[in-house]
Amino acid sequence: MTLLVVTGTGTGVGKTVVTSAIATLAVAAGRLVAVLKVAQTGVDADQPGDVEEVRRLVGPSVTCRELARYPDPLAPATAARRAGLPPVTPATATAAVRELAAEHDLVLIEGAGGLLAPLDDRGGTLADVAAAVAAPVLMVVAAGLGTLNHTALTVEVLRTRALGCVGIVIGAWPAEPDLAAQCNLADLPAVTGLPLLGALGEGAGRLTRGEFLLLARRGLESGLQTLDW
């Protein structure tokens, strides 16, 4: 596996932390890794965004690229329109993926929001990027109540568009999981037919680089080893 699209069932489910965890494990294994953030919204030019968090958690050896940044916390197409800036199109993102893939062993492509959040006013989405570069998708989901429906809907879109999904990761496993979260460990794979590859503890993004690598190994390494990555 040289390309992997990391999407989520919505905002705030832990996509960047999971992307960072995959990147840090790959870097530790000696691979040349790039992380592409297709569009960053809700962050001003002088504020750290998702790529800065990846660099902090993974280290300087990871290549990070952000294609566009828009200050309003909205879908990329809407945020671009409001800012008077050009949107990121699937064609632009696809070209960036191919450029990075020529120089790296693994390129992780992180979207903004969910799989069908509009990138531009012509309806382009992260799903179109995944299709164009023939990349498998990894889905980051919430732990608790409501996640079964959100996850199943995203899986249905993936299957309708003939996009492969390698599995599911819970992006922020709570320190004290409630009944719904505990049941979802079994229910998520049962409902979707996809493997639950792992879970990262809540607050993982606040750890030091060394602590984060240990957490990634505990929460995700064994699941990734089941993949040809």
Residue 15: active-site member? no
Average pLDDT, rounded, for the chain = 96
pLDDT at 1: 78
Q: Which CATH number fits domain 3-221: 3.90.25.10, 3.40.50.300, 3.40.640.10, 3.40.50.720?
A: 3.40.50.300
Q: Catalytic: which of 15, 37, 69, 104? A: 37
3-class DSSP state of 209: helix
The beta strand positions in 57-208, using DSSP E, are 63-66, 69-70, 106-114, 137-141, 165-173, 196-201
Flag whether pLDDT at 229 surpasses 80: no
Using one digit for the tens of pLDDT, what is the confidence trace for 19-36? 999 999 999 999 999 999
The reply to whether the predicted model has a pTM over 0.75 is: yes
Q: Tens digit of pLDDT for each residue in 32-47?
A: 999 999 999 999 989 9
% of residues, the chain, pLDDT over 90:
96
pLDDT category of residue 170 using cuts at 50, 70 and 90: very high
pLDDT tens-digit series, residues 174-187: 999 999 999 999 99
Location of structure tokens 């799989």: 115
DSSP class of 87: P
pLDDT on residue 227: 86
SS3 content of the chain, % helix, strand, coil (to 5): 45, 20, 35
Distance from C-alpha of 209 to C-alpha of 15, rounded to nearest angstrom: 17
Burial of 161 (0-12, 13-18, 19+ CB in 10 A): middle
Per-residue pLDDT at 228 exceeds 80 = no
Q: How many residues in the chain?
A: 229
Q: Give the pLDDT score at 79.
A: 98
pLDDT for the residue numbered 145? 96
Percent residues over pLDDT 70 in the chain: 100
Provide the pLDDT for residue 91: 98
